[in-house]
């Protein structure tokens, strides 16, 4: 693993343990594993993958030294950064952008219609939750953390939210893909807000890749190779979109037994953008919003990114470099 | 046995009653009639089926063959082991049958005190069963059985764990209650003198499988004394018969 | 008869516990009646409670303190050894500071109130339902054959699997949470009762039959008291199940108002705040221990009555 | 002595169960010794098992079928009434088709194997640990004062709260899952044993003391057998806890290859596939019921030995 | 009591032993010395503290005052209630003490058969306790107590639930075993004749709180018969004394 004894010459580890979720927003990881890009790039370094169902468990595993790197959403990354006082992890690349929004019941057409309604978000204080609250505030509606206010915001896990929506127990949900598409396709929900439209360039971070600082320091060469595999996976998705869908779904099936339905898969892919750009500005803005609504203690995110290795790889491949600047 | 003279009503009637536990035959065609107000004592070797007979009469077990009829009368059984309920105080145990009969609380209390008085445990009402000696527990069980106010009283070695003196006292008390309430009593004991002291009839059961082998009518005048020559004499006679019976099986 | 000495001295001897025998003043004199009459009254009131009480409290307290001290020590040593980074394994000091901050907010106590209300309501419901089901199942052979084994089956079902059904039946309401709690705890209660009933000594059942107990009276006066030990143990397990189910069930719906303990625990995890996670672990343990103390009090009471505790 | 009639006929009588009394050929003849000698041998072999066995199976089967039929009927009526959309409440037919598809894949059985292996390993570990802790706690008063109540406290802790600790101690491994399972089940086992030991009748303890039982022998020959009923009931509860913990714990780490039941359940939920969710509810119920049947067999055996079951 | 002539060793020595349960004084300064090989019978009213005395000697309860010394000898106690273990067969119950002594399986089996033979339950080895009658259970408990191979045998109304004949047989057996193994026996009974039949001495306890009020040496030649005139005569004498004692308290 990424233990001391594994740190070889030239900053190469004998193995790397990579985490990701069996989730469509983690497509680059799914492809990279499915197509073997990571292992090819890593060469003699052994790749061990672990899958998680939720961010907190991935962070727990990362901090406990059970994994070295993981794909993860922006929220757990910020929390992990804050809890470890900026010593636990670094974001080294973007992976996925977009693919979230507010789906509501038939009959709700404007923000004003949401008054007195119940809207689910995946978890208090996560990106979608913050996005919803910020959006509500912009539209003159308030919602408190205990589920009260003009709009009742209810943190619920995705499965519960989907069921509750299907049965009419909630009026809407601000969720990421593939649940967005499933609410639309399976439960006849309507997209009231596509979060894409709220961001300047239409891009906002959904998934990125993080490593422990310790691993990054000890094994920079391995990290570079990991990034190489990551970029190759992204390349493949860009060039072979249809095959990428199939491959991602095959990996999902291998991990979870059941693939996504084709229409959901296609709709989700349409909403998602796979890019190495971590869209740093959206992370900062989102964190700012979270602080504004009191869901995050003020946290200094300076230094959370280490895009050096990524940019080296991008430069080598002749692609534009990315930036961790706020705007 | 020619007890078919129907001067009083037959209260318990067994005709060729058999009982087997699996393959073990405990009672073999026992026929026995107990009339209203009779005090019948049962004697027999250990394991010959006396307790089994009582449990059949009480309806606790089903008979394997024959007919048994008690005419739907209320039966009270005092078990061989005291079998008190540990979660109730002594008084609670005695009051329980009264409670089940729906007797009011003060009335219940009064009756229980009386009964505890009879068994000489007036001061132990608030104790719990585990705080009593073996003989005391047996007496509480007696009080509980008496509290039931049944027509037929079945008693399985009720005084086995008592000293001679306490036994004498309770003999008198039991006789008085039996008289006053016109009870029908079926009384199991190993003490032949006790049987002769108390019974109108003494029934001898054979060794397993139990069968009725003798039926002694006891004709002495009451009140009797356990150490009177009449009682001793007849007891000696019955004891000899019993010994002969048990000896036949002792290989 | 001189009646005063023996009973008075018997009390003293118990207190001092020395080895000289209590003697009646004149041999052959019988102090029985007075003594017996006197002791019933004595036993009702608390006896020799001054020094003994302090001693008893101390005897039950020191092992607890020692245990806590040992745990804290090991924990602190693990922290000092820098086995894991401080943000993964925070020091006891950090955690207790955090805990202090948490429990001094009124909000927290509102949450505790909300959660405890749900826990007790759900548990009581579960006890009632479980008792009825347990009594019926143990009474009717066909019912036992039909659903006896289902009870354990239901017990093994993770609470979250009931969410769809809960939402189906109760939408997102307090009732949905209670539904999950009841489904979690009732089987335990029922199983405890069934096991207790199954092991009621046959002699007692026969005594009950002779005393003419039927139907409800039989349950009231015989079956329930006789199976009480097992029933209480079932209740204890039922409480644990109901609490666990509640912690999951509270995530089902957030009723506007105070944040329940279940939600707070989840949030502590979501924030990857290990110190806060440990805080809530401690909170849940303390609540569990307090409830256990209640159960133990009931249990000891029972054992004393049954003569199993001296 | 004529010895053949009584024992031969006694067997016949048992089989025919008629109401005529078995008679010895000549009154006064004693068939005791032969009969008794004969019956011991007889009782070892199964008796009257032909017709009776079929009858017994049927007696325990029809209520089950009836119960299942009733549930299916209510369900089907709910579906027919179109109370909820079909994708929320699928029809039994859909579910059973799905169930058929699921259980005919080798993959599913691999998953069952993985999960059952974990369940049994974890449970066995929990039993060993729970038994040792239960025995120690019930034996040593200071230990009981120290951690007795903690046992219930631990029981009430939701499994997910142990995840951080599990990962910390065991990384992402099978051991981490087992850790969660053991923490879930061991307290139940310990509590069952403690409650059993607490209610061992005092007389038996005194007999044991007179027979000179000490230490391990006392546990082996007295305490364990005497507390077995409560212990088995604790095991049953422990199994339920361990299974529930396992369902949560399996989400901790997904070992590539066969998908465990816990993961499959979670995924069925994640996919909002109500039919699949119900499939897995059925699977878990069936497993739970099968395990309960095992426990019941043990329990009935015990009750027969103790003379509580005729 | 002037039994301080030390011709044989004192095996059980009680000096002013008292025992109280809470406020209830069960035994009051009891002094008693039992010598090696002696057969001592205890008589007393119900609840006078006989069982308590045995449990003190067996070390089951702590004394409240006085001194008690049995010199660390092995004690076996047959309880007033049979207290068999329901999870073991009859044979298993009898074998248990042997098992605890580490006797090998075949040896154990043989000893158990012998003991069951002695108590006339040879054919019941495979039964379970609940399948036995009250008297049979008592006999199993006797066999279990004998299996313990102790120096001091304490027996609490061991034959209370047995018929006269079975009792006689077991008297003979017990006497034989006591002789052969040079046991020291402390025997509680309510049957005065039984006490005289078996004992070297008969000790009379007063009613609660128990105190030693008489100590009768029994000098008749052995073997004795329970219905012999000597036994009857002395029994009558003791019974009178006992009645007088109990009557004093019967208010
Ligand atoms: N539940 C039972 N199962 C099997 N056999 C039984 C059962 N109860 C009694 N027996 C057998 O039936 C026979 C008669 O038993 P019962 O208890 O009626 O004897 P008893 O006359 O009361 O003897 P005792 O004087 O010793 O109490 C005994 O051989 C006993 O082993
Ligand atoms: N565990 C106990 N707790 C409280 N009191 C007890 C306990 N055991 C016995 N006693 C009391 O001690 C006294 C003597 O009891 P013990 O059992 O020694 O009498 P006993 O002589 O054996 O009587 P019996 O002939 O009836 O068996 C009784 O009054 C009884 O109530
Ligand atoms: Mg009997
Ligand atoms: Mg006694």
Do residue E161 and residue B134 have CB atoms under 8 angstroms apart?
no
- E60: nearest CB among D209, D217, D221: D209
> In 3D, which of A68, A88, A61 has the Cα closest to residue A77?
A88
Evaluate whether E48 touches E208 at the Cβ level (below 8 Å): yes
Long-range CB pairs of D289-293, under 8 A, 24+ apart, other chains included: D289/C149, D289/C150, D289/C152, D289/C153, D291/C152, D291/C156, D291/D239, D292/C148, D292/C149, D292/C151, D292/C152, D292/C153, D292/D236, D293/C149
Range of the domain at E134: 84-149
Are residues B144 and B155 both part of a single domain?
no
Looking at every residue in chain A, the average pLDDT score rounds to: 87
Residue D11 has pLDDT above 70, yes or no: no
Distance CA D36, CA E90 (A): 14
Task: Evaluate if residue D21 carries a pLDDT over 70.
Answer: no
Query: What pLDDT score does B7 carry?
Result: 55
Confirm whether B169 is domain-assigned. Answer: yes
pLDDT at B244: 82
Judge whether B188 and B50 are in contact, CB under 8 Å: yes
B113 and B170 part of one domain? no
Q: Are residues B61 and B28 in the same domain?
A: yes
Distance B159 CA to ligand 4 centre (A): 13
The tokens describing E76, both together, are 């076996």
Domain count, chain E: 2
Specify the pairing of strand E201-205 against strand E184-188: unpaired
For C292, the closest of D153, D164, D239 (CB atoms) is D153
Tell me how far the alpha carbon of residue B168 lies from the centroid of ligand 3, in angstroms: 22
Handedness of CA E223, E226, E227, E230 (dihedral sign): positive
The structure tokens listed for A285 are 């803005």
Q: Dihedral (C-alpha) A10, A11, A14, A15: value to the nearest 10 degrees?
A: -150
Q: Are residues B163 and B50 in the same domain?
A: yes
Q: How much is the pLDDT for D29?
A: 36
pLDDT of B12 reads 92
Residue E127, φ and ψ in degrees, nearest 5 = -75, 165
From 1.20.120.330, 3.40.50.460, 3.40.50.1370, 1.10.3720.10, which CATH number describes the D93-306 domain? 1.10.3720.10
Q: How far apart are CA A318 and CA A321, in angstroms?
A: 9
- Please tell me whether the peptide bond between B209 and the residue prior to it is cis, using omega within 30 degrees of 0: yes
Round the CA-based radius of gyration of chain B to a whole number and report it.
Answer: 18
- Taking Cα atoms as reference points, which of A208, A216, A212 lies closest to residue A67? A212
Kindly state whether residues B222 and B113 are assigned to the same domain: no
Mutate to test the interface with D, among C233, C252, C280 (most CBs of D within 10 A): C233
Measured distance between the N- and C-terminal CA atoms of chain A, rounded to whole angstroms? 37
Which subunits count as partners of chain D given 3+ CB pairs below 8 Å? A, B, C, E
Q: Distance between CA B20 and CA D12 in Å, rounded?
A: 12
Exposed (0-12), middle (13-18) or buried (19+): which is A156, by Cβ within 10 Å?
A: buried
Q: Quick check: C17 pLDDT over 50?
A: no
E52 Cβ closer than 6 Å to some ligand 2 atom: yes
Question: For residues C224 and C171, is the Cβ–Cβ distance under 8 A?
Answer: no
Asked if residues B145 and B76 have their Cβ atoms less than 8 Å apart, the reply is yes
Q: Quick: pLDDT tens for E45-78.
A: 888 899 999 999 999 999 999 999 988 889 999 9
The percent of residues above 70 in pLDDT, for chain E, comes to: 96
pLDDT higher than threshold 70 for residue D184: yes
Is E66 part of the contact surface with chain B (CB cutoff 8 Å)?
A: no
Phi then psi dihedrals of residue D156, to 5 deg? -80, -5
- Distance in Å, CA D125 to ligand 3 centroid: 47
* pLDDT, position D50: 53
Choose the final residue of a domain: E131, E149, E167: E149
pLDDT at C168: 81
Interval C181-192 mean pLDDT: 91
Helices E105-118 and E134-147 cross at an angle (nearest 10°) of 130
pLDDT of residue C11: 32
pLDDT in tens, D45-101: 344 445 677 787 787 778 888 888 888 999 899 888 888 777 778 899 999 999 999
CA–CA distance, D190 with D106 (Å, rounded to integer): 37
pLDDT at D33: 37
Q: Which residues surround ligand 4, an ion (CB under 5 A)?
A: B 133-134; E 51, 80
Q: For residue D220, count other CB atoms closer than 10 A to its CB.
A: 13
Per-residue pLDDT, averaged over A50-76, amounts to: 87
Percentage, residues of chain E above pLDDT 90: 54
Ranges A287-296, C53-62, C179-188, most confident:
C179-188
The domain spans of chain D are 21-49, 51-83, 93-306
Residue B79 lies inside a defined structural domain of this protein: no
Q: pLDDT category, A9, cuts 50, 70, 90? A: low
Ligand 4 centroid–CA E44 distance in Å is 10
Q: Give the residue ranges of DSSP H helices in chain A.
A: 27-34, 37-42, 55-63, 74-83, 127-138, 158-166, 179-186, 213-218, 220-239, 241-256, 262-271, 280-292, 308-316
**Is the Cβ–Cβ distance between C290 and C120 less than 8 Å?**
no
Task: Decide if B189 contacts B157 (C-beta within 8 A).
Answer: yes
| Predicted pLDDT at E147 | 92
Coil/strand/helix, residue E152: strand
Give the HSE-up count for residue B224: Cα atoms under 13 Å, Cβ half-sphere. Answer: 26
Measured CA to CA, the distance from residue B9 to residue B171 in angstroms comes to 25
pLDDT at D26: 36
Q: Which ligand is nearest to the CA of E156?
A: 4
> How far off is chain D from C269, nearest CA to CA, in Å?
8
Of D10, D18, D202, the CB nearest to B20: D10
* Helix, strand, coil percent content, chain E, rounded in steps of 5: 40, 25, 35
CA distance A228 to chain D (A): 24
Residue found by looking up tokens 């003020």 in the block: A298
Q: What number is the average pLDDT over the span A282-293?
A: 86
Same domain, yes or no: B55 and B159: yes
**Three state DSSP letters for E114-138:** HHHHHCCCHHHCCCCHHHCCHHHHH
B47 and B170 share one domain: yes
Residues B188 and B141 in one domain: no
Look at residue C50 in the predicted model and tell me its pLDDT: 53
The model's pTM is: 0.83
DSSP state of D266: H
* Backbone CA torsion sign across A117, A118, A124, A130: negative
| Contact B/A (≥3 CB pairs under 8 Å) | no
CA distance D123 to D243: 8
Backbone phi, psi, residue B110, to 5°: -65, -50
Q: Report DSSP letters for C176-198, one per residue.
A: HHHHHHHHHHHHHHHHHHHHHHH
Continuous H helices in chain E: 50-57, 90-100, 105-118, 134-147, 164-181, 192-198, 229-249
Smallest CA–CA separation between B24 and chain D, in Å?
Answer: 7
pLDDT tens digits, residue range E189-233?
998 989 999 999 999 998 878 889 889 999 888 888 888 888 889
Q: Which token pair is A252?
A: 């999902």
Residues forming a β-bridge with E201:
E40, E217
Helix (H) or strand (E) run with residue C213 in it = none
Chain E residues whose C-beta is within 8 A of a chain D C-beta are: 55, 58-60, 74-77, 79, 81, 83, 85-88, 96-97, 99-100, 123-126, 128-131, 148
Q: Name every protein residue with a CB atom under 6 angstroms from any ligand 1 atom.
A: B 21, 24, 26, 44, 46-52, 80, 208; E 130-136, 161
Token couple for B237: 């006679």
Question: Comparing C-alpha atoms, which of E124, E29, B125 is closest to residue C9?
Answer: E29
Helix axes C4-16, C32-44, angle to 10 degrees: 50
Q: What is the pLDDT of residue D12?
A: 32
Residue C45, pLDDT above cutoff 80: no
Strands A69-72 and A205-212: what pairing? antiparallel
Please report whether residue B121 resides in a domain. yes
- Is there a single domain that holds both residue E139 and residue E159? no
What is the DSSP code (8-state) at residue A25?
G
B161 CA distance to ligand 4 middle (Å):
8
Residue E78 domain flag? no
Does residue B158 sit in the same domain as residue B68? yes
Residue B78 domain-assigned (yes or no): no
* pLDDT of residue E1 exceeding 50: no
Binned at pLDDT 50, 70 and 90, residue C42 comes out as: very low
Report in angstroms the alpha-carbon separations of B204 from B50, B196, D22. Answer: 10, 12, 20
Q: In which element (H, E) is residue E206 found?
A: none
pLDDT in tens, chain B (251 residues): 444 445 578 899 999 999 998 888 999 899 999 999 999 999 988 888 999 999 999 999 999 999 999 888 899 999 988 889 999 999 999 999 999 999 999 999 999 999 999 998 998 999 989 899 999 999 999 999 999 989 999 999 999 888 888 888 899 999 999 999 899 999 999 989 899 999 999 999 988 788 898 899 998 888 888 888 888 899 989 988 888 877 776 54
ipTM over 0.85: no
Q: Minimum mean pLDDT among A27-36, A208-217, C84-93: which range?
A: C84-93
User: What CATH number should be reported for the domain holding residue B207?
Assistant: 3.40.50.300
The residue among E149, E175, E203 that closes a domain is E149
- Residues of chain A with Cβ-Cβ distance to D271 below 8 Å are 258
Residue A208, SS3 per DSSP: strand
Same domain, B44 and B25: yes
For chain E, the residues whose C-beta falls within 8 A of a C-beta of chain C are: 16-18, 20, 22-25, 28-29, 63-67, 130, 206-209, 211, 213, 248-249, 251
Ramachandran angles phi, psi of C47, nearest 5°: -110, 160
Pairs of residues, one from chain C and one from chain E, whose beta carbons lie less than 8 Å apart: 68
The answer to whether the CB of E140 falls within 8 A of the CB of E85 is no
Which of B120, B149, B178 represents a domain boundary (last residue)?
A: B149
Same domain, yes or no: E121 and E10? no
CA-based nearest residue to A77, from A282, A313, A312:
A282
Residue A64 and residue A280 in contact, taking contact as beta carbons nearer than 8 Å: no
């Amino acid at each position: 693993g990424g233990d001391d004894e594994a740190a070889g010459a030239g900053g190469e580890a004998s193995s790397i343990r990579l985490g990701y979720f069996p989730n469509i927003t983690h497509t680059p990881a799914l492809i990279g594993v499915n197509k073997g890009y990571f292992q090819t790039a890593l060469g003699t370094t052994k790749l061990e993958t672990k899958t998680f169902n939720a961010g907190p468990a991935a962070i727990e595993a990362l901090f406990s030294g059970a994994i070295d790197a993981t794909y993860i959403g922006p929220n757990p990354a910020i929390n992990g950064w804050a809890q470890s006082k900026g010593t636990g992890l670094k974001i080294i690349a973007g992976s996925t952008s977009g693919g979230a929004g507010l789906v509501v019941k038939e009959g709700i057409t404007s923000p004003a219609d949401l008054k007195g309604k119940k809207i689910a978000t995946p978890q208090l204080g996560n990106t979608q939750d913050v996005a919803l609250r910020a959006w509500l505030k912009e539209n003159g509606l308030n919602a408190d953390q205990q589920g009260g206010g003009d709009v009742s915001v209810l943190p619920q896990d995705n499965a519960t939210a989907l069921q509750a929506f299907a049965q009419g127990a909630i009026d809407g949900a601000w969720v990421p893909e593939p649940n967005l598409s499933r609410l639309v396709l399976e439960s006849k929900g309507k997209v009231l807000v596509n979060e894409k439209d709220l961001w300047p360039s239409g891009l906002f971070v959904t998934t990125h890749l993080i490593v422990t600082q310790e691993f990054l320091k000890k094994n920079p060469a391995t990290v570079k190779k990991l990034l190489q595999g990551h970029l190759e996976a992204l390349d493949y998705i860009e060039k072979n979109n249809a095959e990428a869908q199939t491959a991602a779904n095959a990996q999902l099936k291998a991990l979870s037994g059941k693939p996504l339905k084709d229409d959901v898969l296609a709709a989700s892919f349409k909403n998602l953008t796979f890019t190495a750009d971590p869209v740093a500005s959206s992370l900062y803005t989102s964190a700012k919003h979270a602080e504004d609504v009191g869901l995050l203690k003020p946290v200094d995110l300076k230094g959370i990114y280490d895009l050096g290795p990524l940019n080296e790889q991008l430069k080598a491949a002749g692609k534009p470099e990315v930036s961790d600047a706020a705007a | 046995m020619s007890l078919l003279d129907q001067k009083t009503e037959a209260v318990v009637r067994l005709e060729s009653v058999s009982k087997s536990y699996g393959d073990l035959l405990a009672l073999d065609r026992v026929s026995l009639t107990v009339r209203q107000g009779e005090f019948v004592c049962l004697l027999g070797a250990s394991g010959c089926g006396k307790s089994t007979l009582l449990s059949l009469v009480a309806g606790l077990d089903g008979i394997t063959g024959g007919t048994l009829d008690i005419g739907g009368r209320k039966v009270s059984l005092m078990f061989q082991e005291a079998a008190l309920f540990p979660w109730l105080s002594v008084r609670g145990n005695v009051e329980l049958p009264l409670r089940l009969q729906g007797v009011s609380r003060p009335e219940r209390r009064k009756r229980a005190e009386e009964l505890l008085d009879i068994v000489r445990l007036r001061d132990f009402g608030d104790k719990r069963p585990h705080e009593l000696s073996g003989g005391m527990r047996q007496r509480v069980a007696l009080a509980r059985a008496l509290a039931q106010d049944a027509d037929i009283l079945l008693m399985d070695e009720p005084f086995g764990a008592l000293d001679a003196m306490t036994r004498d006292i309770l003999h008198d008390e039991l006789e008085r209650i039996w008289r006053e309430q016109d009870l029908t009593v079926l009384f199991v004991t190993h003490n032949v003198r006790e049987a002769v002291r108390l019974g109108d009839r003494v029934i001898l059961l054979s060794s397993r499988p139990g069968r009725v082998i003798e039926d002694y009518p006891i004709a002495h005048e009451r009140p009797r004394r356990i150490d009177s020559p009449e009682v001793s004499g007849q007891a000696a006679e019955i004891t000899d018969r019993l010994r002969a019976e048990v000896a036949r099986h002792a290989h | 008869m001189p009646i005063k000495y023996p009973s008075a001295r018997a009390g003293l001897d118990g207190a001092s516990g020395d080895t000289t025998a209590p003697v009646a003043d004149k041999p052959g004199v019988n102090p029985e009646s007075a003594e017996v009459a006197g002791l019933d009254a004595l036993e009702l009131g608390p006896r020799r409670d001054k020094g003994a009480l302090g001693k008893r409290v101390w005897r039950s307290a020191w092992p607890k303190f020692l245990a806590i001290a040992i745990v804290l020590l090991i924990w602190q040593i693990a922290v000092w050894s820098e086995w894991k980074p401080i943000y993964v394994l925070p020091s006891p000091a950090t955690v207790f500071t955090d805990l202090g901050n948490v429990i001094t907010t009124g909000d927290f106590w509102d949450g505790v109130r909300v959660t405890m209300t749900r826990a007790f309501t759900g548990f009581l419901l579960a006890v009632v339902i479980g008792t009825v089901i347990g009594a019926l199942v143990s009474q009717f052979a066909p019912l036992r054959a039909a659903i006896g084994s289902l009870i354990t089956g239901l017990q093994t079902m993770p609470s979250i699997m009931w969410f769809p059904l809960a939402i189906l039946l109760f939408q997102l309401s307090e009732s949905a949470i209670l539904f999950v709690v009841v489904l979690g705890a009732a089987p335990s209660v029922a199983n405890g009762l069934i096991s207790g009933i199954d092991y009621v000594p046959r002699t007692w059942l026969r005594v009950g039959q002779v005393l003419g107990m039927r139907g409800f009276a039989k349950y009231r006066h015989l079956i329930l008291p006789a199976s009480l030990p097992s029933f209480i143990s079932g209740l204890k397990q039922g409480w644990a199940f109901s609490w666990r189910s509640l912690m999951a069930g509270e995530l089902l719906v957030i009723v506007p108002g105070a944040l329940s303990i279940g939600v707070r625990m989840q949030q502590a995890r979501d924030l990857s705040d290990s110190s806060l996670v440990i805080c809530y672990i401690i909170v849940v343990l303390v609540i569990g221990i307090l409830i256990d103390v209640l159960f133990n009090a009931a249990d000891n009471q029972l054992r004393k009555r049954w003569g199993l505790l001296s």
